[in-house]
Structure formats: structure tokens, C-alpha cells
Amino acid sequence: MQILNSVHMLEAQMLAERRYLHANPELSGQETKTADYVVSALEALGMSIHIVPNGGVIGVLNEKKDGPCVLLRADIDALPIQESTQNLKGPRSVVSQNPGVMHACGHDAHTAMLLCAARVLTRMKDELAGSVLFVFERGEEIGGKGFIENLLPYIDEHFSVDACYATHVRWDIPSGKVVVLDGPVMAGAFGFDVTIHGRGGHGSRPDLASSPIDCFCAIHQQANALRMRVVDPEQVLTYSLGVVKAGEQKNIIPDSLRFAGTVRTYDVAGSGERFAAALHQIIDSACAAHGCEAEYHAFTRPIYETHNDPQAAQLARQAIEKHVGAEALVSGTRWMATESMSAYLKLWPGVLSFTGIKNEALGCGANHHTPQFDVDEAALAPGAAAACAFAVEFLASRPEMTFKRRIVSMQDLVARCL
């Protein structure tokens, strides 16, 4: 358990860093001080630093060493949420000092864990059978917009990556436990934002109007039934609306109606693409039938699901069992949230694991993106050790991966993250 012991030796520094980052969150695209902090920490380790403008920070360990290259990744941005001073049990250990901005998804923990992993692996650099990239990604909370399109092509051009690994903390997994699943582990998704333009009128003469409300009702009814028509019953797909806005007076038919929502699935290339195409057709057909027109503010290409390579996942489980302990590994479920790590896993074989942070005694268990969200800091040590374990074992074993890159193009891949 050399790796876990090394992490515990650095645990106080890791927790202090997590608290500093939590107290000083920065929104997506504004992570200047956070990025500077990361650069300073990596420079102190003597790493080669690559700063990708509007992309992120990359630290390189053993840059010129022969052998495979493993990429370890964390995200560094926060959310526009006013943090509660209380978690589910009482006062939290640290509170954001930036009003209206909060690390409500655990990116402060991700960053602190990866910095700790960088310190541990730096101490082991002579033993490592290859090189390690430490990637700190900006803008993940806004789907990587303007960041993934700069960061991923840069990595692909300047480095020869053989495998990648990241973890995401989860509110519903017991603290200190790690889940590594095969196949799709987080959902792919697409969003839509549409205004239906009709012709308003008075409620006494609906025959003289082209009601966008009637048109929307037809769209929504057909969309709700669409899953049964185009989605394999063994596949998971959800359709939901978050916005429906129209009208001000009960006796006035409005000129327009706006609706917006999302669709999520673990099978983007199949169920997701079919549902997207069919939904677009439903909207256009309903508008034509009701004398209306559709204005598409957004109808995005589906973001790919986050898909763990089975070989990499098996190696990760073995590595965690060996270096962190068999008791750290537990079974778990997939998660219908989305992640820009999905794009990395389209380019290189790898794993997104889940690190549990739930501890009811400490009040940690609120869902992500809520004001009461909090992290049990005891979870950070096994999370950091798991990342180290994957890197060490992959570099030592140099497995022959059957992974094949299947993307239309880099441009198509990054466009799906915008």
C-alpha cells in the first residue's frame, strides 16, 4: 500500500488545497486564479507546463522518458449558485467567499486529488515506466464550450496518449468507496430551445388565430410517445421540458410560445440520433399543420455518452484493489448526468470512475448543483490513490489495448461538447 500511504502523508496539504479552492471558486471561463494556482503547484514539482489558452493547464511528468503515456484529468470550474452555509446536518467546514459562485459539483475535490496524485507520482518518477500528463480542464460546467475545442486538439497534437483516467465525486455513493464500471457510465445528451411563431387572436374567435399553444400541445404529445416508436426498449432515454412560456391573459391567444428541454441517453449514436431526427421532424410537421413556424434557438448535436473501455476498467479495478484495498471497490449504478470526459474517452481508452462522498453523519449527501452540496473530505485520499494506482499499473503492464478510435473528425467530436 505504498501509494495509499504516500497519499496519507500528503493528505493534510490536499485537504487544505481543497478548502482554499472551495473558498475561492471561479465560474467557467473565469478560472484565472485557479489556473495560476495549479501552475504554481506543478512548477514546484519541477514539471514541464503547457498552458493552453482558453483550454486549461497541462503538467508533464517524465516528458522525455520512453514508454507509454497516461493522461490524468480534473476539471476546475465552479457554478453560479449561492452556497448555503449549512449542509444537510449543520455548518459546513468551508464556505465560498465569492457570493453567488460555488463548487457545487466537486471540482474543487477533483483538482485537489489530482494535485496530490501529481505529488505522489513525482516522488515515484524514477520508478514509473513512462510519462504522465496531468490535465486541468477549464469550462466543464458549460459543456467545455470554447475550451474542449482548444484543449483536446492540443493534447492530440503534442502528446501520444495511451490511456486516460478521471474520477467524479458522487453524492449517493458512501464516502471513500470507488466505483469502476464497464461501458457507458454517464449519459450523452442534446438540448433544444425553440420558439413557435403563430398568429394571436381573441379567445372568442380561435378560428381566426393560429395558436402556438395548440401547436406545442401536438408536439409535446408526439414527443412523449416518440420513445416507444424509435428507441430500443432495452435502451435508456429520457425526454424532459424545463421551459414552456406563452401568453399573459386567459382570453388572448398569444403570437408565440417558447419551449426548451433536454434528451439524455446512454446510446447517442443509436437511440439519441434517431430521437433527435424524429423530434425535429415532429416540430416542423406540427408547425406546418397548425399554420405556425419554428425558430430554432438551439438544437444541438448530441453529446456522446461517457464510455469506459472494458480493458481499462478491468485494469483500474485491479490497480485499486492492489494499491488502495479491495474494500475500497464497490458496485454502483450509471449516472444520467453528462461529462466532457466523454470526449477524451472517444480518443483514448480509459476510465471515468466515481468516488463516493456521502456521509450522513457529516451532512454530506445533498445532490450535485444544489446549495447544500458538500464533500466528505475523507473520500479524497482513496480517490487520489486510485488515480495513482491506475497510472502506475498501466505504465508497468503496458497492456495491448483493443480500443479503436471511432470518430467522424476532431471537429465533430468537439462540436458535440459545445
The tens digit of pLDDT for each residue in 193-249 reads 999 999 999 999 999 999 999 999 999 999 999 988 989 888 999 999 999 999 999
Whole-number pLDDT of residue 295 = 98
- Look up the CATH number of the domain holding residue 268: 3.30.70.360
DSSP one-letter code for 93: S
DSSP letters, 115-131, are HHHHHHHHHTTTT-SSE
Q: Which backbone phi and psi does 51 adopt, to 5 degrees?
A: -105, 115
Look at the block and give the residue holding cell 399553444. 213
**Which of the four pLDDT bands, split at 50, 70 and 90, describes residue 411?**
confident
pLDDT at 149: 87
My answer on whether 7 and 121 are in the same domain is: yes
Residue 350 shares a structural domain with residue 365: yes
Burial of 6 (0-12, 13-18, 19+ CB in 10 A): buried
pLDDT of residue 88: 97
Entry pTM: 0.94
Band of residue 145 on the pLDDT scale cut at 50, 70, 90? low
Q: Tell me: the pLDDT tens digits for 19-39?
A: 999 999 999 999 999 999 999
Of the pLDDT bands very low, low, confident and very high (cuts 50, 70, 90), residue 142 is confident
Q: Same structural domain for residues 11 and 149?
A: yes
The residues near 90 (Cβ < 8 Å, ≥ 6 apart) are 363
The neighbour count for residue 165, using CB atoms within 10 Å, is 29
Residue 160 has pLDDT above 90, yes or no: yes
Provide, rounded to the nearest whole percent, the portion of the chain with pLDDT above 70. Answer: 99
Mark which of 254, 273, 299 sits at the end of a domain.
Answer: 299
User: Residues 59, 110: one domain?
Assistant: yes
* Number of residues in the chain: 418
Give the number of domains in the chain.
Answer: 2
* pLDDT tens digits along 290-344: 999 999 999 988 889 999 999 999 999 999 999 999 999 999 999 999 999 999 9
pLDDT at 64: 83
Strand order in the sheet with 131-137: 48-52, 56-61, 131-137, 69-75, 163-174, 350-358, 178-179
pLDDT at 373: 98
Q: What is the DSSP letter of 89?
A: S
Mean per-residue pLDDT of the chain: 95
Residue after which a domain boundary falls, among 299, 320, 346: 299
pLDDT at 1: 75
- Residues 128, 29 share a domain: yes
The answer on 199 and 159 residing in a single domain is: no
Q: Give the type of residue at 310.
A: P
Verify that 314 and 196 share a domain, yes or no.
no
400/144: higher pLDDT: 400
Question: Nearest-CA neighbor of 322 among 397, 395, 393?
Answer: 393
Query: Which grid cell sits at 267?
Result: 446510446
Nearest to 138 by CA among 196, 195, 73, 91: 73
| Reduced 3-state DSSP string for the chain | CHHHHHHHHCHHHHHHHHHHHHHCCCECCCCHHHHHHHHHHHHHCCCEEEEECCCEEEEEECCCCCCCEEEEEEECCEECCCCCCECCCCECCCCCCCCCCECCCCHHHHHHHHHHHHHHHHHCCCCCCCEEEEEEECCHHHCCCCCHHHHHHHHHHHCCCCEEEEEEEEEEEECCCEECCCEEEECEEEEEEEEEECECEECCCHHHCECHHHHHHHHHHHHHHHHHHHCCCCCCEEEEEEEEECCCCCCEECCEEEEEEEEEECCHHHHHHHHHHHHHHHHHHHHHHCCCEEEEEEECCCECCEEECHHHHHHHHHHHHHHCCHHHECCCCCECCCCCHHHHHHHCCEEEEEEEEEEHHHCECCCCCCCCCCCCHHHHHHHHHHHHHHHHHHHHHCCCCCCCCCCCCHHHHHHCCC
| pLDDT at 114 exceeding the cut of 80 | yes
Residue 155, beta-bridge partner list: none
Assess whether pLDDT exceeds 80 at residue 170.
yes
The stretch 166-170 carries a mean pLDDT of: 98
| Amino acid (1-letter code) at residue 74 | A
Cα torsion angle, 222, 224, 228, 231, sign: positive
| Phi, psi values for residue 327, rounded to 5° | -70, -15
What range defines the domain where residue 336 resides?
2-185+305-415
DSSP state of 272: I
Determine whether 185 is exposed, middle or buried from the number of CB atoms within 10 Å of its CB (0-12, 13-18, 19+).
buried
Question: In this structure, what CATH number is given to the domain that contains residue 405?
Answer: 3.40.630.10
- pLDDT given at position 146: 67
Are residues 190 and 272 in contact, defined by beta-carbon separation less than 8 angstroms?
A: yes
Helix axes 107-123, 32-44, angle to 10 degrees: 10
Q: Are residues 151 and 9 in the same domain?
A: yes
Question: Are residues 291 and 152 part of one domain?
Answer: no
Which residue, 364, 320, 312, is CA-closest to 341? 312
What band does 418 get if pLDDT is binned at 50, 70 and 90? low
**pLDDT grade for 414, boundaries at 50, 70 and 90:** confident
295 and 310 assigned to the same domain: no
124 and 217 both lie in a single domain: no
Do 194 and 179 fall into the same domain?
Answer: no
Domain boundary among 251, 274, 299: 299
